[in-house]
Amino acid sequence: NAGVTQTPKFQVLKTGQSMTLQCAQDMNHEYMSWYRQDPGMGLRLIHYSVGAGITDQGEVPNGYNVSRSTTEDFPLRLLSAAPSQTSVYFCASSYSLRGRGGTDTQYFGPGTRLTVL
Protein backbone atom coordinates (compact mmCIF):
# COMPACT_ATOMS: atom_id res chain seq x y z
CA ASN A 1 0.00 0.00 0.00
CA ALA A 2 1.12 3.52 -0.78
CA GLY A 3 -0.72 4.85 2.30
CA VAL A 4 -1.62 8.54 2.10
CA THR A 5 -0.16 10.44 -0.84
CA GLN A 6 -0.16 14.19 -1.40
CA THR A 7 0.70 16.25 -4.45
CA PRO A 8 2.43 18.53 -5.07
CA LYS A 9 5.23 18.50 -2.49
CA PHE A 10 5.98 22.18 -2.99
CA GLN A 11 3.98 25.00 -4.55
CA VAL A 12 4.42 28.75 -4.94
CA LEU A 13 1.38 30.86 -5.77
CA LYS A 14 0.71 34.51 -6.31
CA THR A 15 -1.98 36.26 -4.29
CA GLY A 16 -5.37 35.66 -5.86
CA GLN A 17 -4.47 32.47 -7.71
CA SER A 18 -6.44 29.30 -7.12
CA MET A 19 -5.19 25.75 -6.87
CA THR A 20 -6.07 22.28 -5.64
CA LEU A 21 -3.99 20.21 -3.25
CA GLN A 22 -4.47 16.53 -3.96
CA CYS A 23 -4.79 13.79 -1.35
CA ALA A 24 -5.39 10.09 -1.92
CA GLN A 25 -5.38 7.00 0.29
CA ASP A 26 -5.50 3.33 -0.64
CA MET A 27 -6.46 1.91 2.77
CA ASN A 28 -10.24 2.15 2.32
CA HIS A 29 -10.44 4.60 5.22
CA GLU A 30 -13.76 6.30 5.83
CA TYR A 31 -12.36 9.36 7.54
CA MET A 32 -10.12 11.93 5.87
CA SER A 33 -9.01 15.36 6.98
CA TRP A 34 -6.87 18.34 6.10
CA TYR A 35 -4.63 20.19 8.55
CA ARG A 36 -2.33 23.15 8.24
CA GLN A 37 0.78 23.48 10.35
CA ASP A 38 2.34 26.82 11.15
CA PRO A 39 5.30 27.52 13.47
CA GLY A 40 4.17 27.63 17.09
CA MET A 41 0.55 26.85 16.14
CA GLY A 42 0.61 23.10 15.85
CA LEU A 43 -1.76 21.29 13.53
CA ARG A 44 -5.07 23.03 12.92
CA LEU A 45 -8.00 21.20 11.35
CA ILE A 46 -9.31 22.81 8.14
CA HIS A 47 -11.98 20.40 6.86
CA TYR A 48 -12.79 16.77 7.37
CA SER A 49 -14.96 14.03 5.88
CA VAL A 50 -16.49 10.99 7.58
CA GLY A 51 -17.29 9.30 4.27
CA ALA A 52 -17.90 9.84 0.57
CA GLY A 53 -20.32 12.71 0.01
CA ILE A 54 -20.00 14.03 3.59
CA THR A 55 -17.76 16.93 4.60
CA ASP A 56 -17.65 19.35 7.51
CA GLN A 57 -15.67 22.32 8.73
CA GLY A 58 -12.83 22.23 11.20
CA GLU A 59 -11.22 25.04 13.16
CA VAL A 60 -9.95 27.16 10.24
CA PRO A 61 -12.13 26.54 7.14
CA ASN A 62 -12.26 30.03 5.64
CA GLY A 63 -10.68 30.30 2.20
CA TYR A 64 -10.75 26.55 1.58
CA ASN A 65 -13.22 24.20 -0.07
CA VAL A 66 -13.37 20.41 -0.08
CA SER A 67 -15.42 17.65 -1.67
CA ARG A 68 -15.40 13.87 -1.25
CA SER A 69 -16.78 12.14 -4.32
CA THR A 70 -14.89 8.89 -3.70
CA THR A 71 -13.57 7.07 -0.63
CA GLU A 72 -10.01 7.39 -1.91
CA ASP A 73 -9.70 11.10 -2.75
CA PHE A 74 -10.12 14.27 -0.72
CA PRO A 75 -8.86 17.37 -2.59
CA LEU A 76 -8.45 20.75 -0.89
CA ARG A 77 -9.16 23.83 -2.99
CA LEU A 78 -7.78 27.28 -2.35
CA LEU A 79 -10.21 29.64 -4.04
CA SER A 80 -8.15 32.85 -3.99
CA ALA A 81 -4.78 32.39 -2.34
CA ALA A 82 -3.64 34.86 0.30
CA PRO A 83 -0.23 35.22 2.01
CA SER A 84 -1.89 34.08 5.28
CA GLN A 85 -2.36 30.68 3.65
CA THR A 86 1.39 30.14 3.45
CA SER A 87 1.81 26.96 5.45
CA VAL A 88 2.51 23.24 5.36
CA TYR A 89 -0.63 21.25 4.59
CA PHE A 90 -1.14 17.69 5.77
CA CYS A 91 -3.80 15.24 4.74
CA ALA A 92 -4.69 12.37 7.08
CA SER A 93 -6.99 9.37 7.03
CA SER A 94 -8.30 6.79 9.49
CA TYR A 95 -10.92 4.05 9.67
CA SER A 96 -13.46 6.07 11.57
CA LEU A 97 -13.83 8.54 14.38
CA ARG A 98 -17.42 7.60 15.02
CA GLY A 99 -18.27 6.04 18.32
CA ARG A 100 -16.28 5.96 21.52
CA GLY A 101 -14.93 2.48 20.80
CA GLY A 102 -12.91 3.28 17.69
CA THR A 103 -9.13 3.31 17.54
CA ASP A 104 -9.01 6.22 15.12
CA THR A 105 -5.29 6.12 14.40
CA GLN A 106 -4.50 8.86 11.93
CA TYR A 107 -2.23 8.15 8.97
CA PHE A 108 -0.63 11.31 7.63
CA GLY A 109 0.67 12.13 4.18
CA PRO A 110 4.11 13.70 3.64
CA GLY A 111 2.71 17.23 3.37
CA THR A 112 2.58 20.04 0.82
CA ARG A 113 4.62 23.15 1.49
CA LEU A 114 2.74 26.13 0.07
CA THR A 115 4.07 29.66 -0.28
CA VAL A 116 1.78 32.51 -1.33
CA LEU A 117 3.55 35.64 -2.49
Partner 1 sequence: SQKIEQNSEALNIQEGKTATLTCNYTNYSPAYLQWYRQDPGRGPVFLLLIRENEKEKRKERLKVTFDTTLKQSLFHITASQPADSATYLCALEGDGSGNTGKLIFGQGTTLQVKP
Contact footprint for partner 1 (CB under 8 A)? 4, 31, 33, 35, 40-45, 48-50, 56, 58-59, 90, 92, 97-100, 102-111
Give the residue with the Cβ less far from partner 1, 17 or 107. 107
Give the residue with the Cβ less far from partner 1, 31 or 78. 31
Whole-angstrom CA distances from 75 to 30, 61, 69, 92, 114 are: 15, 14, 10, 12, 15
Give the residue with the Cβ less far from partner 1, 14 or 100. 100
The answer to whether residues 22 and 89 touch, using CB atoms and an 8 Å cutoff, is no
Q: Report helix, strand or coil for 16.
A: coil
Give the residue with the Cβ less far from partner 1, 19 or 88. 88
Residues in the chain: 117
Instruction: Quote the least distance from Cβ 94 to partner 1, whole Å.
Output: 8
Instruction: Quote the least distance from Cβ 37 to partner 1, whole Å.
Output: 9
Residue in 103, 78, 106 with CA at minimum distance from that of residue 92: 106
Instruction: Quote the least distance from Cβ 101 to partner 1, whole Å.
Output: 8
Q: How many other C-beta atoms can be found within 10 angstroms of the C-beta atom of residue 114? A: 20
Instruction: Quote the least distance from Cβ 109 to partner 1, whole Å.
Output: 6
